[in-house]
Structure 1
Amino acid sequence: MPGVETDSISRERSRTGRWLHEHALLLVCLAIFLLCLVGMAVSGYQVYTDDRLEHGGTAIAFGDYFRSGHFIEATFENWESEFLQMGAYVVLTIFLFQKGSSESKPMGERTPQDEDPRHAAVGPGTPWPVRRGGIWLVLYENSLAIFFFVLFALSFWFHAVGGAEVYSAEQAQHGLPTVGVIEYLGTSQFWFESMQNWQSEFLAVAAIVGASVYLRQRGSPESKPVATPHHETGA
């Protein structure tokens, strides 16, 4: 019946709209990421092609560019620093504090994040590793840091893989010997590429930790309430 079909469509749209609302932050960030990645690929391909032509080479297909050291190195060099930053921040905020910062746990008191899950009441919605216990719980209660450090390690390696190809190509142009991935890890070029990104990530973390003591952004969970005194720490 038309009325039943209309109600079904309305309910489906309502569920879809609710799902989009509940996941909007993740979806928007992923959309911006994809747009920027596409922009990086397009512009990087043009830079790479121009460089090849200037040195007497030939252009490659756009699809082949994604397998080139130029694209791999540029992509994972940046991902590496981001995942290092997030992993280190997750771990450092367990033990370290900043008085007055919204990014710090309150000082001198226990928070829900400090509670031992082994003593928690178990219900239907309790995560499976908590109900199971043992090694599964040990892994799960550290899974956020593990997640970021695994991604950091993978990005670190692919940065080295792509960077070794780019570095070797430049060496060959100057009549110098090429290097393997392990050899490239020992070059100053690799560590220059890494450190120039790492320093900026930790500067950004320090900036929000320090700025959130005195500055506010109404409506953002990264800020304390606007009227909160500067000395009050955490949420």
Structure 2
Amino acid sequence: MRQFLRQNSLGLVFGLLFLIVLVGQAFAGHADFNQQQLTEGLPPVSLGRYLTSASFGVDVLENWQSEYLQFFLYIWFTVWLLQKGSPESKELDKPGRETEREQKIGAFADADSPKWARARGLRLWLFSNSLGLVMGLIFVLSWAGQSIAGRAAFNEEQLGNLADPVSWTDYLASPDFWNRTLQNWQSELLAVASMAILAIYLRQRGSSQSKPVGAAHTATGIEG
């Protein structure tokens, strides 16, 4: 068990932090929602009712979709795009998809390479792009979920204000949907750009996201 925890500590810790923060968001969001209910002269709702509400759903999903968009773009862009001096970039002479030998696929697969690394055709293509495809799929699904939950929450406000509800397609073109979407996108893109550039000049000793402390600022594609 101790060895399992040590070898999987990064995923386990982030998974635990995710659950703690999600629970915290649920309680904080519930309190905020009920505060708004009381301000508007409406009765408060139970925690269970809030957790199944469109308000909670859209708050969660609008953040998920932006995070997975960040990963999706980063995975695909770093195939071709480079940043001199950044550990977040590949080496400057290795843009593109690289050779089969470098990728250890087909005849160049190692003894312990995944089975699909030895495949050909569609199976090899799917496995070769599986990380980006899955991240992209999660982004699309969570963005679609945000649009559905967002429309429901928006229509609840519309009805509360004695206004007509809107259709899903009308909501997709609404300022509310794009405000929720773009405020998350801009923060994620800024974070990625900041990491790629700041890691050129700054260090974190022992971190896989940083160059070795003594590495030159121009050293590219190496990690500590």
TM-score normalised by L of structure 2:
0.92
Identity of aligned residues (%): 36
Residue 114 (structure 1) aligns with: 98
2:204, 2:46 → 1: CA distance?
46
1:225, 1:95 → 2: CA distance?
24
Distance 1:182 1:110, change over 3 A: closer
The answer as to 2:206 corresponding to 1:219 is yes
Which one-letter code corresponds to 1:115 in the other structure? T
Any conservation in 1 of the 2:109–2:117 contact (CA below 8 Å)?
no
Report Cα offsets for 1:138-183 as digits up to 9, x if no partner. 1110001011111100110111111111111221222211113222
**Aligned partner of residue 228 in structure 1, secondary structure:** coil
Residue 21 (structure 2) aligns with: 36
1:38-187 correspondence to structure 2 within 5 Å? 38-109=23-94, 114-116=98-100, 117-123=105-111, 125-187=112-174
Any conservation in 1 of the 2:106–2:119 contact (CA below 8 Å)?
no
- Aligned-CA RMSD value: 1.6
1:48, 1:148 → 2: CA distance?
31
Shift of 1:208: 0.7
Shift of 1:18: 0.4
Residue 13 (structure 1) aligns with: none
Structure 1: gaps spanning 5 or more residues: 1-15
Shift of 1:119: 3.6
Report Cα offsets for 1:27-59 as digits up to 9, x if no partner. 000111100000000011111122223333333
Report Cα offsets for 1:100-120 as digits up to 9, x if no partner. 111000111479x73322242
Any conservation in 2 of the 1:122–1:131 contact (CA below 8 Å)?
no
Report Cα offsets for 1:48-104 as digits up to 9, x if no partner. 122223333333331222211110000000001000000000000000000011100
Which one-letter code corresponds to 2:48 in the other structure? G
Q: List, as ranges, runs of 4+ consecutive aligned residues in structure 1 with deviation greater than 3 Å.
A: none
Residue 231 (structure 1) aligns with: 218
Shift of 1:122: 4.8
Structure 2: gaps spanning 5 or more residues: none
Aligned length: 218
Shift of 1:129: 1.7
1:154, 1:100 → 2: CA distance?
35
Distance 1:110 1:176, change over 3 A: closer
**Aligned partner of residue 202 in structure 1, secondary structure:** helix
TM-score normalised by L of structure 1:
0.88
Which one-letter code corresponds to 1:180 in the other structure? S
Distance 1:61 1:99, change over 3 A: same
